[in-house]
A and B are shown apart, each in its own frame.
Chain A
Amino acid sequence: MQGSPASRLARDLAAWLVVLVFVFPLFWWVLASVKPYTAIFAQPPVYVDFEATAENYAVTIGGQSRITLEGGVGGQTGGASSYYSLPSIRDSVIVALGSTALALVLATLASFGLSRFAMRGKDHVVFFVLAQRMLPPIAVAIPLFFIFRDLGLRDSHLGLILAHTLINLPLAVLLLKSFFDDVPVELDESAMLDGATRFQVFRMVVLPLVKGGLAATAVLCFIFSWTEFLISLLLTTSIRTIPVKITTFVTSTGTEWGLITALGSAALVPSFIFILLVQKHLVRGLTLGSLKS
């Protein structure tokens, strides 16, 4: 569609307007994190007319006490037990990395098997894996709460890693299978004629060819674990991943919007970097390998 200059301009304007509407909540969120306390609550809303401050980051990530900061962050004290969130960031990183690694190992093996072997009922296996994607988190969390209590895994990094791995498996398996399917089987066959074993074919022929797919799968698993909420909320009490930690800042005695937006903005950084790195495979990932871009 290459219309007149006027219609092209209209389209550009419409496109920018739509995207600005979608970016605005993010902009407003990050802006609030550097606003002084009073500017957040100002009416009408304040866009540029305030003195930027890093206090909110100093408290949530730097661990500074709000009282020692000159003037304090807020006029009132919220009821959350602690605003220092570096331990939460650490918990989130451990859980996300652990569950990504575990899901990737299990899924790489399984999807190679599903991609390379003719077997009876393969469709049923794929269906079965897909069905795991339909488990509502609440239906996973309730029984795991008791099972983990009996196993001593409740409120542990390992427990959360296992739960997130389970939720990530369908995505990882189906997505990697689609990447393996892209590699022609003739490659395997010729390598095996040359005397390679099946495992050597897997490790030295096929795996190097799906590196990009592995990276994309890893990123999506990491982001899922990084953003997951309900399971972390129900299965842990002292370990607090960032999404759970941040909701504890909302209390009945006052909501610390400056601190919430600071931690919330910090939590966006890894996700944004990663998502921009895997733009190419994003659609395939979001559709569990069923659509390719």
Chain B
Amino acid sequence: MVSTAARGRAPLLPRWLTADHPLPWLAPMFAMILAFGIYPLAYSIWLSLHQRNRFTRVDEFSGLANWVQAFGDQRFIDSLLVTVQYTLTCLVFQVVLGIAIALLLDCERRGYGLLRALMTLPLVVPPAVTGLMFLLMQDGQFGVLSYYLKLIGLVSPEAPILANPRTALWGVMAADIWQWTPFMVLILLAGLRALPKEPYEAAAIDGAGFLQCLWHLTLPMLSRVIAVAVLIRTIDLFRIYDYVYAMTAGGPGTATETLSFYAGRVFGVANFNYAATLSLIMLIVLNVACFTFLKLARVRF
């Protein structure tokens, strides 16, 4: 307002329409989110409260029938369990491997910069391509991974990894762990770089070993960094779809059918109302989990 006052004329617009008010800056983004985020969400809720009449092809109000159906749907419960198992297993692997590899690569010697750069490559592979990559390597007949696992007796020739209900989910998780462990490594490396040196010097004087330092100094000081990384990974793990689509299509049977994939399959057979209901349940579970985590871990953006 300084400039208009200085030029001595009355403002043409009310203040909340000028660049001196946040509204015009935020309005385009809000318009976009309203039109293609909030409105579709409302549309989903509407869909979930209706059922399509098979003969007239008109959506008829059905109250909470779709929601009640979901909680009695064994296949939905199973896919929820698969998703939870998938999320937690991958998370454990990615955090543990991520910490170990970050510690290993946190070194100033020659060559380590190149190694760190190479570690970032898996992050930008399209997940559908990653799925195919691991499908090729895990093929029961000519897969290179299967070949070596067969050689050391971990996989029997009669039961290819992805065709065996007991191992198929592990096969899919291998792709996820390969692609996203580097995410943890990268974030933790940045965290390690930012740590103060003094506590380690003091610990060295007191004769603390590597593991003691790791447990009492490094991990507690990295807890915020780990919390952010775990939050973002959880969001993505919980809605996993691409690997399943590319590698197993939910099979064998429903051994690798995750929530997203089940909802997509229901959508594929034109049961749109129920698919919308399932996707909303996913959204609610994920949001409750994430915001609880945000509060507990005190992560700020």
> A: which residues have CB within 8 A of B?
1, 8, 11-12, 14-16, 18-19, 22-23, 25-26, 28-29, 32, 40-45, 105-107, 109-110, 112-114, 116-117, 119, 125-126, 129-140, 142-147, 162-163, 165-166, 169, 173-174, 192-193, 195-199, 202, 223, 226-227, 229-230, 233-234, 242-244, 246-247, 250, 257, 260-261, 264, 267-268, 271-272, 274-276, 279, 282-283, 286-293
Please, which residue of chain B has its CB at the minimum distance from the CB of A289? Answer: B301
B47 pairs with A142, CB closer than 8 A: yes
Task: With both chains docked as a complex, state the minimum distance between the C-beta of A248 and any C-beta of chain B, in angstroms.
Answer: 11
B190 pairs with A291, CB closer than 8 A: yes
Checking A44, A229, A250, A274 against B124 with a beta-carbon cut-off of 8 angstroms, the contacting residue is A274
A142 pairs with B44, CB closer than 8 A: yes
Task: With both chains docked as a complex, state the minimum distance between the C-beta of B118 and any C-beta of chain A, in angstroms.
Answer: 5
Q: List 30 A-B contacts (CB under 8 A).
A: A12-B111, A18-B101, A25-B133, A28-B133, A119-B22, A136-B282, A136-B286, A137-B260, A138-B241, A138-B275, A139-B280, A140-B37, A140-B40, A143-B41, A145-B272, A147-B43, A193-B2, A195-B2, A195-B3, A195-B6, A227-B126, A244-B128, A247-B245, A261-B136, A268-B129, A271-B125, A275-B121, A275-B123, A282-B186, A283-B190
Number of A-B contacts (CB under 8 A): 281
Q: Which residues from A are CB-within-8-Å of B232?
A: 286-288
The docked-state distance in angstroms from the alpha carbon of A42 to that of B141 is 9
The docked-state distance in angstroms from the alpha carbon of A173 to that of B33 is 12
Task: With both chains docked as a complex, state the minimum distance between the C-beta of B93 and any C-beta of chain A, in angstroms.
Answer: 13
Q: Which residues from B are CB-within-8-Å of A244?
A: 128
Q: Which residues from B are CB-within-8-Å of A119?
A: 22
Q: Which residues from B are CB-within-8-Å of A196?
A: 3
Checking B6, B41, B228, B287 against A287 with a beta-carbon cut-off of 8 angstroms, the contacting residue is B228
- Which of B24-32, B60-68, B159-167 sits within the interface? B24-32
B283 pairs with A135, CB closer than 8 A: yes
B33 pairs with A166, CB closer than 8 A: yes
B137 pairs with A134, CB closer than 8 A: no
Q: Which residues from A are CB-within-8-Å of B251?
A: none
Which 10 pairs show the lowest CB-CB distances between chains A and B? A113-B25, A143-B40, A271-B124, A227-B126, A110-B29, A293-B190, A136-B239, A139-B279, A117-B22, A243-B128
The docked-state distance in angstroms from the alpha carbon of A195 to that of B193 is 42
CB-defined interface of B246-280 with A at 8 Å, one 1/0 digit per residue? 10000000000000100110010000100110011
B104 pairs with A138, CB closer than 8 A: no
A131 pairs with B47, CB closer than 8 A: no
Task: With both chains docked as a complex, state the minimum distance between the C-beta of A147 and any C-beta of chain B, in angstroms.
Answer: 6
B25 pairs with A109, CB closer than 8 A: yes
Task: With both chains docked as a complex, state the minimum distance between the C-beta of A283 and any C-beta of chain B, in angstroms.
Answer: 4
The docked-state distance in angstroms from the alpha carbon of A147 to that of B109 is 55
Checking B25, B142, B181, B241 against A110 with a beta-carbon cut-off of 8 angstroms, the contacting residue is B25
Task: With both chains docked as a complex, state the minimum distance between the C-beta of A188 and any C-beta of chain B, in angstroms.
Answer: 11
| B interface majority secondary structure | helix
Additional pairs, 5, CB under 8 Å, beyond known A11-B107, A137-B239, A286-B232: A15-B107, A42-B142, A138-B239, A242-B126, A243-B242
B47 pairs with A109, CB closer than 8 A: no
Please, which residue of chain A has its CB at the minimum distance from the CB of B243? Answer: A229
Task: With both chains docked as a complex, state the minimum distance between the C-beta of B19 and any C-beta of chain A, in angstroms.
Answer: 4
Q: Which residues from B are CB-within-8-Å of A136?
A: 238-239, 260, 279, 282-283, 286
B54 interface contact, C-beta 8 A: no
Q: Which residues from A are CB-within-8-Å of B235?
A: 133-134
Q: Which residues from A are CB-within-8-Å of B33?
A: 129, 132, 166, 169
Task: With both chains docked as a complex, state the minimum distance between the C-beta of B48 and any C-beta of chain A, in angstroms.
Answer: 10
Q: Which residues from B are CB-within-8-Å of A286?
A: 123, 183, 186-187, 232
B215 interface contact, C-beta 8 A: no
Q: Which residues from A are CB-within-8-Å of B193?
A: 293
A135 pairs with B37, CB closer than 8 A: yes
The docked-state distance in angstroms from the alpha carbon of A129 to that of B29 is 10
A143 pairs with B28, CB closer than 8 A: no
The docked-state distance in angstroms from the alpha carbon of A165 to that of B32 is 9
A138 pairs with B123, CB closer than 8 A: no
A138 pairs with B264, CB closer than 8 A: yes
B124 pairs with A230, CB closer than 8 A: no
B287 pairs with A134, CB closer than 8 A: yes
B128 pairs with A229, CB closer than 8 A: yes
Checking A28, A43, A247, A292 against B137 with a beta-carbon cut-off of 8 angstroms, the contacting residue is A28
B128 pairs with A14, CB closer than 8 A: no
User: With A22-B122, A289-B301 given, is the CB distance from A15 to B282 under 8 Å?
Assistant: no
Please, which residue of chain A has its CB at the minimum distance from the CB of B281? Answer: A139
Task: With both chains docked as a complex, state the minimum distance between the C-beta of B96 and any C-beta of chain A, in angstroms.
Answer: 13
User: With A143-B41, A227-B124 given, is the CB distance from A169 to B19 under 8 Å?
Assistant: no
Q: Which residues from A are CB-within-8-Å of B210?
A: 1
Please, which residue of chain B has its CB at the minimum distance from the CB of A2? Answer: B109
Q: Which residues from A are CB-within-8-Å of B189?
A: 283, 293
